[in-house]
A and B are shown apart, each in its own frame.
Chain A
Amino acid sequence: MMESWKERALARYQELKKLGKSFFPYIIYKDTVVVFLIFVVVLGLAIVKGAELEEVADPTDTTYNPRPEWYFLFLFQALKYVPGSLEAVAAIILPSLVILLMILLPFIDRGPRRHPFDRPLLTILGIVAIVGFIGLTVVGLESPLLNPVVHKDPQVMAGRKLYADLKCSYCHSINGRGGVAGPDLTTVGSRRERDWFVQHFQSPQRVTPGSVMPRLNLLPEEVDELVAYMMTLGGGGGPFTPKAPHLFQDHCESCHRLDGKGGEIGPDLTTLRTYRDKGFIYGYIQDPKPFNPETSMPGFKGTLTDPEIEDLSRYLLSSKREKK
């Protein structure tokens, strides 16, 4: 049997319906006006601002500062306020829970009361959510997102440009893009030493007799630039020493997880190399303050020597590490 309030609600609805107007033309008219206004605004934006197209995606450019679509900004901004160990909770579990609650809302909030003043708790909750969303989005729009300070190494950038200008990709591929006449360079940075690169670029045939790779007649600084770029390939700033894993164990593991082992106070660093570049990591280990004013991680400038920090950065960036 139907509860009496439901019957009353349905009866009241019929009453109001009788008093109301027909859909056509009265409601249609309002709809048309609103739709027209929205269309004008969208068309205006489409013509004036258009849809931007940035440079073509470059999987090797880890210095790019990612920025999601604006309606995800609030989430990314919110993530900045939670400690790394809770990131999974804040990024996945909490939003999933909110969505679940939203779906279940009509089964949680039942009964005849519909007016916002008759449901103060939900009304306040709704207002808080809206204000929070807008606030976080505004802050997120103003503050850079993930790479707070992007350290683009000018030498590396110049090297990348040279690589494109000299059409190295006719023979080599990086991350699956390019030719196959020469070896794949995706991880070459972790395979070769600096000096090897320099000599090879000066004269491929001297290093690899019979090589078909053309001699490039580069200026010395161009060689340096290309080498700097090559060294960043392989997710790495070059090979690390056997000491690096121990450095990590001694200084970082208490707070950071790496390849499934370590503390939970700071973020898991296993996939760090997919979204941070060397300049960032090196600088962050030295002193995290300039990158993240609210940091709770100590700087290691006095504790570790520069070569040790370099070693650690390479270790974190290396893709070979995980295979061990």
Chain B
Amino acid sequence: MKKIVDWFDERIQTREIKETLFDRKIPKGVGWIYALGSASLFLLILQAVTGILLAMSYSAAPDHAYASVQYITEQIPMGAIIRGLHKWGASFMVIVVTLHMIRVYFMGAYKFPRELTWVLGVLIWLVVIGFGFTGYLLPWDQKGYWATMVGANLAGQAPFIGEAASKVLRGGEALGAITLTRFYAIHVLVLPASLLTLVGLHLFLVVRQGISAPPERDKGERS
């Protein structure tokens, strides 16, 4: 075992990696509420795993989508639980990421030197919501269909670009086959790629700069 570790260490300095990742010091006072970030990361992994499992049996065509979801729920071993995990995981993702953001907001942790981490965080939050919006349509049931219809109509209200935006979203005038394929492509290709990139950068900054210390009262120092 030690030999294997050494073998890698000689080549890619794994000990250094371990030191920066695991032996880094965390400032005094970091409490439970700081775990929300890690919890988001865990949910991301949960969504990725259950999402991949679902994608193996899902078909993104209006004629088959619903039946394939039915098939997943009723025929695939544990299919119902996988769907349940993906659905509830998605809701928790939104909750946990939002709570994480609220924590950072109230603690002023977005301030120097962590401005970029915050900007990436807001973008991640938007991507998470995008996942929710596109995922809602995929089972092609009444709920998803009509909610998406309302969403697309709302997008159509935007000045100047509204009509175009809602057309691009739907892939045409009506909500149909193209919309479903488009939403699926966004849900499993565009958004995951964006999310991984953003989260990668976000985590890089977190490790590089260290977790922010809890805020302290201003003692009248002038800037």
Contact = CB atoms under 8 A, between A and B. Distances in A.
Contacts of B174: 59, 175
13 contacts: A9-B113, A12-B213, A16-B213, A27-B34, A35-B39, A42-B85, A46-B83, A46-B87, A52-B143, A56-B140, A106-B111, A110-B111, A114-B107
A275 B216 CA distance: 52
Interface string B34-50: 11101100110010000
B5 interface: no
Given A46-B88, A106-B114, 15 more contacts: A6-B112, A13-B213, A34-B36, A34-B38, A46-B84, A46-B85, A46-B87, A57-B145, A58-B145, A69-B133, A69-B136, A116-B107, A175-B174, A271-B153, A271-B156
Given A54-B143, A70-B91, A34 B35 contact: yes
B201 interface: no
A16 B142 contact: no
Interface string A129-150: 0100000000000000010000
Interface of A: 3-6, 8-10, 12-13, 16-24, 26-28, 30-31, 33-35, 38-39, 41-43, 45-47, 49-59, 61, 64-72, 76, 87-88, 91-93, 99, 102-103, 105-107, 109-119, 122-123, 126, 130, 146, 175-177, 271, 274-275
SS of A interface (majority): helix
Given A13-B27, A31-B35, A88 B159 contact: yes
A237 B12 CA distance: 72
* B38, B146, B150 pick with most chain A CB within 10 angstroms: B146
A257 to B, nearest CB: 12
B46 A274 contact: no
A54 B94 contact: no
The 8 A-B residue pairs with the shortest CB-CB distance in the complex, in nearest-first order: A46-B84, A114-B108, A57-B145, A66-B146, A106-B115, A24-B22, A114-B215, A51-B87
Contact of A115 (B108, B123, B126): B108
B164 to A, nearest CB: 13
A66 B150 contact: yes
A10 B111 CA distance: 12
B177 interface: yes
Given A56-B66, A56-B142, A92-B157, A30 B133 contact: no
B115 A107 contact: yes
B62 interface: yes
A92 B86 CA distance: 29
B35 A30 contact: yes
B126 A99 contact: yes
Contacts of A116: 106-108, 215
B85 A126 contact: no
B10 interface: no
B153 A34 contact: no
A53 B223 contact: no
Interface in B189-223: 210, 212-213, 215-218, 221-223
Contacts, number: 259
A274 B42 contact: no
Contacts of A72: 133, 151
Contacts of A50: 73, 80-81, 83-84, 87
B139 A115 contact: no
Nearest to A47: B81
A115 to B, nearest CB: 4
Contact of A110 (B27, B112, B129, B177): B112
Contact of A16 (B28, B102, B113, B115): B28
A5 B38 contact: no
B118 to A, nearest CB: 5
A68 B136 CA distance: 8
Contacts of B112: 6, 9, 106, 110
B70 interface: yes
Contacts of A52: 143
* B88, B107, B133, B144 pick with most chain A CB within 10 angstroms: B88
B155 interface: yes
Contacts of A67: 143, 146-147
